[in-house]
Structure 1
Amino acid sequence: MRSTSRLMRSGYEKSIVLVNKLEGAILIISVLIMGCNNVSNVIGRVVFNQSLYFTDELNSILIIFITFAGTSYAARLGSHIRMTAIFDVLPSLYQKVLITLIAFITSICIFAICYFSVEYISWIAPKGKVLPAMQIPVYLTYIWVPVSLFLTGLEYFATGMKNLFSKDMHLSSQITGDGYDNINEL
């Protein structure tokens, strides 16, 4: 029984490492492409008196990737902005209850938004709209949104579960033990 639990945990940790690397790569590549796209557009406009016709659309797609990949990535690291004025003055037991409730409520809200994003994509896909310059179906530019929201919801749910079954308080589900996962060390 113990080895099965260890195998499951090992599989979970490996999958989190893989997702971290994938999201990190998406973030880095998207920012680099956006930078190159903008520089190329400026050079084209200044030197050749001709802008790149697809710059705005490509940047819009990349902003979606960056925003939503960054959301689940930040949730995994416990890096989202927090308002702690009330939290800081509470006794530790109430802090633990509050941080656990916040994680679960945030998870529910994120899953709801994920559901609505899938509904929106399902509504827009049959309309056949395409981006004018790049001729990419509009719904394809939004595919990353529900995927990332689902991952973000899972992260908050995992954080809530970790707080529920751990004696310490945690901002994220991160298992690294590097100080980012334990609120008591902040």
Structure 2
Amino acid sequence: MRALEKWFEPVVIVSMLGAIIIAVFADVIARFAFSTSVSVANELARFCFVYMIYFGVSYAIRERRHMRVTVILDMLPDGMRRWVFALAELIFLIYSVAVCWLGVVITQQAFDRGKILSATEWPQGVLYAAIILSGALSAARLAHSLWRVVARGDTHLGPQMDI
């Protein structure tokens, strides 16, 4: 379980990047060498890019490498920094839960409309499901971070060292 927690996002991100490279390379070779194209290459690359970006969000949260402004936080004394940091993590957690919920709504609407992707003929909701997965994973990562701040007082802004 620890290995899954540690390597899930990086494996997904690297796999998606590899698939993008292969799809685009195959399409370029097909266009220049055979004067044709790989019909699913563009759509597959877009699909992989969306999943790569959304899983990158949760990975950045886990590693505490997402963008944040820390000027005020850095000026606060340690005791107060802990609670302001916890409040910031809580707000981000609420936002992630809202993103996840809205992802469910958008994905359900896409499935209900019966929209499909043109080249792969996959339901469009499969593409939008990245929002749900990323929102849920981000919320879980933020809940863990919030627990670390409240229970242990960990306000270190760099990458997490414990897994």
Q: Residues 147 and 172 (structure 1 numbering): CA distance in 2 closer, same or farther, change over 3 Å? A: farther
- Which residues of 2 match residues 1-186 of structure 1 at below 5 A? 14=1, 16-171=2-157, 174=160, 176=162
1:150 alignment partner AA: A
Partners of 2:64 and 2:95 in 1: how far apart?
Answer: 17
Identity of aligned residues (%): 24
1:103 alignment partner AA: E
Partners of 1:131 and 1:20 in 2: how far apart?
Answer: 32
- Bigger shift: 28-37 or 17-26? 17-26
1:166 alignment partner AA: R
Aligned to 1:7: none
| TM-score when normalising by structure 1 | 0.79
Partners of 1:172 and 1:162 in 2: how far apart?
Answer: 14
- Bigger shift: 82-91 or 71-80? 82-91
**Structure 2 alignment gaps of length 5 or more:** none
Greater Rg, structure 1 or structure 2? 1
Deviation at residue 71 of structure 1 after TM alignment: 1.3
Conservation of the 8 A alpha-carbon contact between 1:68 and 1:144? yes
**Count of matched residue positions in the alignment of Structure 1 and Structure 2:** 163
3-state secondary structure, aligned to 1:142: helix
Q: Residues 168 and 127 (structure 1 numbering): CA distance in 2 closer, same or farther, change over 3 Å? A: closer
| TM-score when normalising by structure 2 | 0.90
Conservation of the 8 A alpha-carbon contact between 2:82 and 2:149? yes
Say which structure, 1 or 2, has more relative contact order (CA 8 Å, 6+ apart): 2
Partners of 1:172 and 1:73 in 2: how far apart?
Answer: 13
Deviation at residue 93 of structure 1 after TM alignment: 2.2
Tell me which stretches of 4 or more aligned residues in structure 1 moved more than 6 Å.
none
**Structure 1 alignment gaps of length 5 or more:** 1-13, 178-186
- Bigger shift: 109-118 or 72-81? 72-81
Q: CA RMSD in A?
A: 2.0
2:143 alignment partner AA: F
